[in-house]
Amino acid sequence: MELDPAGLLAVAREEAVLGKSEGGVPIGAALFTVDGELLGRGHNRRVQDGDPSLHAETTAFRNAGRRPHYRDTIMVTTLSPCWYCSGLVRQFTIPRVIIGESRTFTGGHEWLAEHGVTITLLDDPDCVTLMTEFIDEHPDLWFEDIGTSA
Ligand SMILES: [Zn+2]
């Protein structure tokens, strides 16, 4: 069965919109099996929980719980994964990452590709809009940690 990457991204994008509605950083993610079963979903919770380590990908990963291995999973995220989340993908040998966009921020997805991770970059206009509006409206929040590492 061929997966529909846009359909998987829609789940991550819902999380990003939810995060925005909570006043947070609008980045969402979801972990699926390669067969499209949803294992966990989540969004960036830096503002909501006062925790800069709760990125969308790590939140979705933690919500998925323990698995014997991750070789049959796909990480889906609305934004190119930062170094921290790219490290998570390699640490747990997640073989594929589907990305909404990398126009507003480019993290480690090219590095992941060099190390054998299959990258699907969808260049989704709704994901671009979410981030562009957020950066325009809350530059202080965006540059609170991303700005120092980019
Ligand atoms: Zn991250």
The Cα–Cα gap between 92 and 18 comes to 27
Cα→Cα distances 112→20, 43, 51, 83, 144, Å: 28, 21, 25, 10, 25
What is residue 22's predicted lDDT score, i.e. its pLDDT? 97
**pLDDT value of residue 144:** 87
Q: Is 57 a catalytic residue?
A: yes
Among candidate residues 143, 150, 137, the one with its CA nearest the CA of residue 52: 143
Distance 58 CA to ligand 1 centre (A): 7
Q: Which of 14, 22, 37, 57 is catalytic?
A: 57
Question: How high is the mean pLDDT in each 10-residue block of the chain (150 residues)?
Answer: 90 98 97 97 97 97 97 98 97 98 96 98 98 95 69
Whole-number pLDDT of residue 121: 98
C-alpha dist (Å) from residue 124 to 65, 85, 144, 147: 28, 20, 25, 23
And the tokens for 149? 């590492």
